Structure 1
Amino acid sequence: MAIPTLPKPSHQLMVGLLLMLVFSCLSIQKAAAQYNPTIRSARPGQSVGPFTTGKNVFQVQTGGTYNGYSLDNTDLTGTNYTYLASLRYGILEKLEIRSAFALRHDKTSSSDMTAGGLGLWNAGVRYNLLDGHGDKPSLGIQADARFTAVDEDYKAANLAPRIMLIHGQRLTDKLGLTTNWAVAWTGNNTDPAFNYTVNISFPLSEKVGSFIENYGTVFNGDFDNRWDTGLSYLVNNDFLLDMSVGYGKNDGVSDWFVDAGVSWRVKFGGKQ
């Protein structure tokens, strides 16, 4: 039996839930300060943190990823280059609006055909539910949706929503834990995917940070997972450089990536 396409009422419901989240967050008047002395970036790695940028802070996270893959016992290989940019703005101390887009170029060894263009465009909100102190956990929620207004090679049939619970916690003076737990739809069918990340971060010096991370997806009973690690360098309080590498082997397919990028922020309306 063919998998049914996602009906329009389901998408309208998900959009309604996103809007309800925005209006609920806007109704909160008092909030603890989110602006940090040094920039908090979702780079490097797959995990995002539970905190927002802080009110009137505009933050950009951008980087390039080169990915390769091969199928076991075959000559089939492929490469992909992606340039990703994420834009974040704090409209309240604990609420930010965000958007991301990615330009892609894909090629396989099996043919001379390539694909390329705008491969991703999404938008959403992040809200900090709980601002933990010391060893207490911090929690956040992020809701976003991928639009269909991308190049034909990467277009889904419908809007693709995602809701994610974000957890962050200090384990020791030198170790931090971040986990993400998400349910997401592709926009092409009704079956949700369940995504997770588990990230252990640790500083190597005052300005150099590092991490090791496991992340994966459960979709229609199939479980895939991968590992990555990387470094970040704090140039100044508002500017961060990063690089990372990752590897996975699932269902007879081996894949890897190398990634490098920058993050920076601007505070409007005077000092915090």
Structure 2
Amino acid sequence: MNKNYFILPIALFSQILFSQDLITDRPDQTESAVVVGDKKIQIESGILNQENSGGEKNLSIPTNLFRYGISQKIELRLNLEHSDKKNYGIESIEIGSKINLNKNQNSLTKIALLSHLLLPKKEENLGIMNLISISHDQIKNLSIGYNLGYTHFMNQSGSLKYSIAFGTSLSEKIGFFIETYGEIEKSEMPISNFDSGFTYLVKDNLQIDISFGLGINNQMNFQSIGVSWKSKKNKTQTKKTN
């Protein structure tokens, strides 16, 4: 099974900047429970430098998540990760969706189901990832998000993945988060990691971020920078919402 814990290098955290329309799935590992919105496009890109246990190094330039809202509660997703190996070819491809499960869209607790199909490389099998995302917003200037998911590759044992992130706003534009996340796989030692980082809201629809992570019971470490952009409302959408 792939031990690169950045198959989905993206997450919860911009929800702490309460007034903004841009809610991203990076830089933390916890996927947000928020979809992008009807007919909205959102692109989240980054550079990831990671060293795994055993000294294996990997530079991903870039990691890209493309999100498109087909309704107010459903988005389609395409995740591409490029590697410095093989002449900067595509390292992994995922396609999937995120579905908001809330009946009351104004609830401070949000729940979403995220499913991805993991397309195989030459020597790998087809995989599937299902994940439940829950977030609690604006609890004394604190946003809490957590995920629980299961990833399975054909003809292989599956793995349980978890994460919990705590975020807070340092100003109207700057946010900070800390997080723990990991993976539990049958017959192997559970993996636990820690990461932290900052976001900066350049404009209502443009955000940059920086983050780093360390293994708690393993030798992994990473550094990452990224940028996220969201399409603005067109005139038709604005008239409908006013």
TM-score by structure 2 length? 0.83
For 1:196 and 1:132, the matched residues in 2 are separated by: 25
Return closer, same or farther for 1:49/1:233 CA change in 2, 3 Å cut-off: same
Which residue number in structure 2 is paired with residue 20 of structure 1?
Answer: none
Among residues 75, 78, 93, which one is paired with 1:96 in the alignment? 75
Contact residue 56 and residue 269 of structure 1 kept, 8 A: no
Instruction: Label 1:85 to 1:60 Cα distance change in 2 as closer, same or farther (>3 A).
Output: same
- Give the equivalent residue in structure 2 for 1:78: 56
What's 1:183 paired with?
Answer: 150
Given candidates 219, 238, 241, the residue that maps to 2:205 is 238
Corresponding residue number in structure 2 for 1:169? 136
Structure 1: which 5+ runs fail to align?
1-35, 72-76, 107-113
State the distance in 1 between where 2:179 and 2:216 align: 15
* 1:147 is aligned to 2:119: yes
Matched, 1:192 2:171: no
Structure 1 residue 117 displacement after superposition: 2.5
Residue aligned with 1:44, SS = coil
- 1:138 maps to a residue whose letter is K
Calculate percent identity across the aligned residue pairs: 23
Match of 2:193 among 204, 226, 247: 226
- Alignment size in residue pairs: 216
The alpha-carbon distance between structure 1 residues 180 and 115, as it changes in their structure 2 partners (threshold 3 A), is farther
Equivalent residue for 1:156? 124
Q: For each residue in 1:15-55, what CA deviation from the matched residue of structure 2 results, as whole angstroms up to 9, or x when unmatched?
A: xxxxxxxxxxxxxxxxxxxxx84200011111111110000
Structure number with greater Rg is 1
Distance 2:156 2:82 in 1: 26
**1-structure distance, mates of 2:145, 2:130:** 17
Cα 1:70/1:217, change in 2 over 3 Å: closer
Number of the residue aligned with 1:128? 100
How far did 1:133 drift?
4.3
Counterpart residue number, 1:216: 182
